[in-house]
Structure 1
């Protein structure tokens, strides 16, 4: 997960037409929007797999995080598809933000996109990298889709009323839900933590065991009831977790800040402070 990008530009947010806003709200309510963004993320996943294990070389960005042509190609596809479906909706995408600076957003709708979360693992040939698309409205994430290209697994939110789903390849969607917290809850943590730091962090949140994993997969695995918590203290960007937050929330979980409030978006610099993702 990347560190927040320092704002370097403030373009005026795009004005959304009443027609598109009505369509966006209707598609969100029906669940059509979540299905479409899942399909777009799967198409971006296909693009990324073409680079995987192909000797892709990472460049180092200004924030010291890596980027590859796979990141850029996937992001271009996502931006084009979203604009074609819902024209004029503000987009905050990781590589776009690095190249052009972070725009300002007000109350309203915008996309948060991380075309390839877990780039270091992707370059190293590991499987825990993801494609992430989320929709935010009035600072709350309202829909999300995450794809793991290596395993061809997709997670998404459902209609606005709730429900989350997972599928493998082009198979049928299956409903998922967080599990009731067991007597010995298990946490997921970032690979960047030392064993000592991980132990201290999981005890703070009442967990007895932990496993390290890259990318937004942590949020999705909690959503499908395999783990119970993901505590994070180090810096992350909003696009790192928004899509997974959308899936987890739809599956009955939550992402909260240290003061116990729901994590909100469109914060200054689009950076997150400490948070914990929780299942049941």
Structure 2
């Protein structure tokens, strides 16, 4: 059986290096285009992806890599072996373009139908998150590495993370209210998973379209911190679908 924990130090370095590749382009500006689905893509997406593809190939030469921009270009590797990396080189491209500093690099390792390892870096904030099912989760800030855990439900009500750029409207507001949410915090990108895992907030519900690379790394970190990422019907979110699309989902304490 593969020792997933042994991959964590290398994975941490890879996502931090990918984030470092983005920062000069964030500071100085870079070219932007639009993909066939209308979503934006920048030179920074491709720079981070190059670092991730090279780093993961060196770390695990036998494990295929599904990466957002590679898929957009028509490259889809054979993942029938059941173990594959799911990569978003720059999650929150709109946050990058709008200069909020809330974009992230996200990587998850999928085994079977579920993520078993995850890593996020939030380069402008100097943060990274790392975790895995049955392994625990950590927040890394410079030389500080701290184990994190989802917090118990506060007596005065739950705090929900909501997307800064993709609001789900009245449907999501009603669902959050029904779950006892009394406060909301806006944030862009997969960083929301890290903030929930470390106890800054308690819950997130997402109705709009997302893809598996948007959630894979974050799901592993949430599950390592004692939480769950589920469909609205309560089933664990799965991976490897033909279009890599997610259904509506919720992040909450297990």
TM-score above 0.5: yes
| Equivalent residue number for residue 155 of structure 1 | 129
Measure the CA separation in 1 of the matches of 2:76 and 2:39: 16
User: Does the Cα contact within 8 Å between 1:112 and 1:242 map onto a contact in 2?
Assistant: yes
Provide TM-score, normalisation by structure 2.
0.94
Counterpart in the other structure of 2:144: 172
Identify which of 205, 230, 242 aligns with 1:231: 205
Quick one: which of 100, 106, 110 aligns to 1:136?
110
CA RMSD of aligned residues (A): 1.6
2:163 is aligned to: 190
Q: Does 1:254 align with 2:240?
A: no
With normalisation by structure 1, the TM-score equals 0.85
SS state of the match for residue 188, structure 1?
strand
Q: Distance between the aligned counterparts of 1:127 and 1:70, measured in 2?
A: 13
Distance 1:232 1:111, change over 3 A: same
Q: What CA distance in whole angstroms lies between the structure 1 residues aligned with 2:61 and 2:75?
A: 21
Where does residue 251 of structure 2 map in the other structure?
Answer: 277
| Change in CA separation of 1:259 and 1:104 when aligned onto 2, cut-off 3 Å | farther
Distance in 2 (CA, whole Å) between partners of 1:33 and 1:194 is: 36
- Conserved? CA contact 1:188–1:218, under 8 Å: yes
* Larger relative contact order (CA 8 Å, sep ≥ 6): 1
2:129 and 2:137 in contact (8 A); partners too: yes
Q: Offset of 1:198 from its aligned partner?
A: 4.7
Q: Is the 8 A contact 2:64 2:78 kept in 1?
A: no
- Distance apart, 1:231 and its partner CA: 0.2
TM-superposed CA distance for 1:268, in Å, is 2.3
